[in-house]
Amino acid sequence: MIDQSLHAQSNTGIGSPPIAKKNLKVDTIHADVRVDNYFWLRDKKNPEVISYLEAENRYTESMTKNGDGLQQTIYKEILGRIKQTDLSVPYKLGGYWYYTRTEEGKQYAVYCRKKGTMDSPEEVTLDLNEIARGHKFLGLGLYEVSDDGNLLMYSLDTTGFRQYQFAVKDLRTGAALPDDIGQVNGALWAADNKTIFYVKEDAAKRPYRLFRHELGGNQDELLHEEKDELYRVGVDRSSDRKFLFFIAGSSITDEFHYLPSDQPRGAFRVLYAREEGHELSVDHREGLFYVRTNKGAKNYRLVTVPDSDPRPQNWKEILPHRPAVKLEGVSLFRSHAVFVEREQALVRFVIHDFRTGTNTNVAFPEPVYSAGPGANPEYDTKVFRYSYQSFVTPGSVYDYDMESGKSTLLKQTEVLGGYDPKNYVSERAYAKAADGEMVPISVVYKAGIKRDGTNPLLLYGYGAYGFSQSASFSVARVSLLDRGVVYALAHIRGGGDLGEQWRDEGKMLMKKNTFTDFIACADHLVRQKYTSAQHLAIQGGSAGGLLIGAVLNMRPDLFKVAHLAVPFVDVVNTMLDESLPLTVPEFLEWGNPKKKEEYDYMKTYCPYTNIEAKDYPAMLVTTSLNDSQVMYWESAKYTAKMRVMKTDKNPLVMKINMGAGHGGASGRYDAYKEQAFNFAFILGQLGITK
């Protein structure tokens, strides 16, 4: 039973916290006995579990009621900065211009196209607002138009569990085709405009089967079933549209198969078989496969090989390995290539002209920024589209003329209400880690702020899977900056910010570098008087939530308030349950606890395992009932155990969205409200109430 006191009111008028019952579960592995009192919270179908979660939401509502005014103020500020009726920058594909638009008051985008020119009549391909009627959640997965432009293949998730239902629409008539292949993880068109290759998931949400489907047919052909649970299956198509690729990959190994896209009834041929530790990606241009490979190249190199004989002995290197520079990707065009590189946590684009053999760097105006390739579906073009933003520069879309070397700004997201980037300062700092490594920190704050140790500061981190963190713009974050909050982004190990070695030094049996790096960043910001421990807030989501949970156990004295978003905090129990989504493939990221050495190490940092009877800072835990990546019960178990273990009187609240998934609310207005709530809680704990 749940403690009935959860409905009681204290003398202060604030509801008493819900206390989850303890239901002892004992497990033994490697002669180590583990006790879990809250395992029962995993049963989503148990009304008592739902009752407990709803009680947590009621308690959170009562505990944060004083912040309602600030939350509403921040929400209004966010809306006051965005152009609610707006249009994306159109991109050309085939004979059409494709774009999305938003309308004031509507939660979702409308997908559209125009034939020939933007002066032509608009065709609505998908109106997500209409589709979302009657649903609490809506996510768009696939959006793929056939080569002839007549058919749209798309998929929708209406729960947040990332299960996408497949559909095909005839764009000429608006009619839905009868082809129903159920839930798909990914799919692509062949060149004949009627053959579809698609991927299905297993019970643990691992993409593992590849099928061939012909429109109008009801006998789909199974082409591959991946038996190795470390591997996932995917599909892709070359930039010149001539080849289809079927990929089987783990987090450290890739295997590629290929098939001419105009021969969809043919058999995929092995291009490069799996070889443990060999990671690669493949594209095609003018009779050559372009292979980005880590063979003999930790941070990757680029080779070409004739498509007529693609054996490795025929590889020709065109971009060598550089220890300090990671080759993140390659965009191919008929006459040019764009090398996407990262050095010192910053992206750069190098334009290669195949006719002259020359390389040209695209210039960026700020020292700390974020950039990435945009929509570039056209192969025969001299224009490369890219996105650019920074902590102070709103999202911008540019077209770069690869012949003239000129960038043209097509659109910069309007920030209404008098926003001026000159009012803010963005800079780079470096913290010295425990082992001497220098960890970059990207920082932004309002101009004129003095570094005297009194400033509130929000430090964000992630540090996993080799994902890089970039200094991007946030229209909501302006509400923090304008209130004097310094915002900092820690480029810690486990991420790919400084290349593959940086990634490897923050995973498996070196995972704790991620946490000590983050602590080093926090200590540095305090020593340099950006802030103090009494004014320091921290935030991270998913694997970043694991980070926050771990550092709270290690250094609770260093922080005033923490936000753990959809946090992966029950590491040991989750990694021991191979029926859960992601578990087996992620043995290569976190370790396999069935191996004693990896279990012992994992247990030393698992946030749920290491909760102790000591003082912790104020905490906000947010999650969603239908999260398929990090199950809701990790947050629920963590909150329940923390509440009875911690010795302080600081607030601990959990807010669970009962109708969403890993990314939270799907509608844009609902998402802004969630951001406003999170910011209001953090600000309130930092003593900012207006």
Helix (H) or strand (E) holding 63: helix 47-63
Contact predicate 473/390, CB 8 Å: yes
Q: Show the 3-state SS of 554-610.
A: HCHHHCCEEEEECCCCCHHHHHCCCCCCCCHHHHHHHCCCCCHHHHHHHHHHCCCCC
Catalytic residue among 213, 491, 524, 662: 662
Contact predicate 601/509, CB 8 Å: yes
Q: Which residues pair with 87 in a beta bridge?
A: 101
3-class secondary-structure state, position 129 = helix
| Residue with token string 């965005």 | 82
Q: Which residues contact 450 (CB under 8 A, 6 or more apart)?
A: none
Judge whether 662 counts as a catalytic residue. Answer: yes
Report the 10 Å Cβ neighbour count for 41: 25
Contact predicate 47/636, CB 8 Å: no
Tokens (6 digits) for 618: 């104020």
Compute φ and ψ for 131, nearest 5 degrees: -65, -30
Tokens (6 digits) for 252: 């450290």
For 162-179, b where at least 16 C-beta lie within 10 A, e where not — what string? Answer: bbbebbbbebeeeeeeeb
Catalytic residue among 238, 542, 628, 635: 542
Judge whether 491 counts as a catalytic residue. Answer: no
Contact predicate 400/386, CB 8 Å: yes
Strands (E), 313-405: 316-319, 326-332, 336-343, 346-353, 359-361, 370-373, 383-389, 396-401
The number of angstroms, rounded, from the C-alpha of 680 to the middle of its chain's C-alpha atoms is 23
* Distance in angstroms (rounded) separating the CA atoms of residues 510 and 434: 13
334 secondary structure, DSSP code: S
* Distance in angstroms (rounded) separating the CA atoms of residues 101 and 122: 11
Judge whether 563 counts as a catalytic residue. Answer: no
| Residue with token string 């991927």 | 199
Catalytic residue among 627, 628, 635, 666: 627
- Residues designated as active site: 542, 627, 662
